């Protein structure tokens, strides 16, 4: 049971009633606005899920409207540079095109005359850096993307969906998109590895797109019969809290039913109990 009053002090905002991008804006506004998370002059990485050669209707990637909304809010808060990328699972050009994300971001950048400040681009193998992860539970070192390591802030923008191996994928798992190498190896100790990645590159803000949710056959999906229009967005500065709320509200799952969320609670990555969460309506 999630608590909305008394002692809880970690806010998680949930917003609905609009298009996906509008809901993302409302959720961030309920937290106090992007200016609480992004400072003037920041170099910001916006990290959506662009992993699959799927259309927005198929709900395997973050909705383009959410990505644009988050990027625009970062620029409005004074970010010097906003970089949008993901390491895809399918062929990168197909993923960036089919998802609608590249076209939407580039169209917004051109319309707002922000082409120099806002870029969406493919990852480059040469920019993965072997990186030590101090205090790791399982992943002592790994190739991580330089732009994420060097950014002033990372804004994590996952899509909520089913995942065959992990059960569900939300904010914690979305950070796998900054990893190089053979990511399949980490599924043997996935809960611990996700904690390690999020500890090494902690997102300053997590905005979860739950406009359309892939409920079965994730993470790639492809069948519209597996997709439900949920019409919400969630946001929190605490990725663990965001995942706890979204897991329950979308999928009806408690932390103990999602091993990587439970491990994150136990590991001090963010909140240690759902009782610390304060729900805000956007």
Six-digit token pair at 254?
Answer: 């408690």
Q: Encode pLDDT of 162-189 as tens digits.
A: 999 999 999 999 999 999 999 888 878 9
Q: Is the pLDDT of residue 3 over 60?
A: no
SS3 content of the chain, % helix, strand, coil (to 5): 40, 25, 35
The pLDDT score that the predictor gives to residue 186 is 82
Please determine, for residue 191, whether its predicted confidence score (pLDDT) is greater than 50.
yes
Q: What is the pLDDT of residues 98-144, one digit of tens each?
A: 999 999 999 999 999 999 999 999 999 999 999 999 999 999 999 99
Give the pTM: 0.95
Q: How far, CA to CA in Å, does 234 sit from each of 103, 129, 154?
A: 24, 31, 16
List of domains in the chain: 15-271 (3.40.50.11440)
Q: Residue 19: is its pLDDT beyond 60? A: yes
pLDDT at 14 (0 to 100) = 98
pLDDT of residue 28: 99
For residue 37, name the pLDDT band (cuts at 50, 70, 90): very high
| pLDDT band with cut points at 50, 70 and 90 for residue 4 | very low
What's the confidence (pLDDT) of residue 7? 60
Tell which phi-psi region holds residue 134, choosing left (phi > 0), alpha (psi between -120 and 50) or beta. Answer: beta
Yes or no: say if 239 and 198 are a contact pair by the CB < 8 Å rule: yes
Give the model confidence (pLDDT) of 229-274 as tens digits: 999 999 999 999 999 999 999 999 999 999 999 999 999 999 999 9
Burial, 17: exposed, middle or buried (Cβ in 10 Å; 0-12, 13-18, 19+)?
exposed
Rounded (5°) CA angle 224-228-232: 135
pLDDT digits (tens, 9 = 90+) for 70-100: 999 999 999 999 999 999 999 999 999 999 9
**Residue tagged 């101090």 (tokens):** 134
Task: Note the pLDDT of residue 239.
Answer: 99
């Amino acid at each position: 049971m999630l608590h909305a009053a008394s002692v809880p002090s970690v806010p998680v905002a949930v917003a609905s009633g609009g298009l996906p991008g509008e809901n993302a804006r409302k959720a961030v506004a309920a937290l106090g606005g992007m200016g609480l998370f992004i400072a003037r002059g920041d170099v910001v990485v916006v990290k959506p899920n662009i992993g699959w050669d799927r259309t927005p209707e198929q709900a395997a990637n973050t909705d383009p409207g959410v990505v644009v909304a988050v990027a625009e809010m970062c620029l409005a808060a004074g970010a010097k540079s906003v970089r949008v990328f993901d390491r895809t699972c399918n062929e990168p050009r197909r993923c960036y095109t089919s998802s609608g994300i590249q076209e939407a971001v580039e169209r917004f950048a051109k319309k707002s005359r922000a082409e120099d400040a806002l870029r969406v681009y493919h990852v480059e193998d040469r920019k993965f850096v072997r990186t030590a992860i101090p205090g790791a539970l399982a992943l002592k070192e790994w190739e991580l993307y330089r732009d994420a390591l060097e950014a002033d802030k990372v804004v994590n923008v996952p899509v909520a969906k089913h995942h065959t191996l992990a059960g569900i994928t939300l904010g914690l798992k979305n950070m796998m998109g900054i990893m190089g190498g053979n990511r399949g190896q980490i599924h043997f100790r996935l809960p611990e590895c996700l904690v390690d990645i999020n500890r090494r590159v902690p997102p300053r803000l997590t905005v979860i797109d739950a406009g359309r949710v892939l409920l079965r056959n994730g993470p790639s999906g492809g069948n519209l019969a597996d997709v439900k229009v949920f019409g919400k967005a969630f946001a929190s500065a605490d990725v663990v809290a965001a995942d706890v709320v979204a897991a329950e509200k979308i999928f009806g799952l408690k932390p103990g039913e999602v091993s990587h969320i439970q491990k994150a609670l136990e590991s001090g990555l963010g909140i240690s109990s759902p009782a610390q969460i304060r729900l805000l309506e956007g």
